[in-house]
Amino acid sequence: QSFKLLGFLDVKSVPCARESVLYGSLGSFVVGLGHFVATSRVRRSCDFAVGGFICTMLGYWFYCRYNLAQHRIRQRMLKEGMRNKLLFEGSSLDPESKQTGNERSDS
């Protein structure tokens, strides 16, 4: 069973969606309550709460997606490095064997 926000955003399967909605609701509560405590104006505080929700949700969405993209890039580089290590290990193209060969000739 999945929860769709606004009918199209599947919160369960889309990365970072759940956390963005949760942090957005927390930001909404904090901004709305803070504005209400400061001014005692209910309608204006609700407007600020909606704005706080949108800003917090979008801010965390972009932050989370950026970190997810960086993580995937590092994971891809590590996977390719491991594949190259297995492919070139023991051959003349192995950079580690060239370093050890130079170290042996220097000593």
Segments of the chain with pLDDT less than 70:
1-9, 95, 97-107
pLDDT digits (tens, 9 = 90+) for 6-24: 666 677 777 888 899 899 9
Domain ranges for the chain: 15-87
Give the residue carrying structure tokens 């590590």.
78
In this prediction, residue 75 carries a pLDDT of 96
In this prediction, residue 88 carries a pLDDT of 76
CA distances from 97 to 47, 51, 77, 101, 102 (A): 66, 60, 22, 6, 9
Q: Taking the model in full, what pTM does it have?
A: 0.69
Amino acid letter for position 17? A
Instruction: Compute the chain's Rg from CA coordinates.
Output: 26
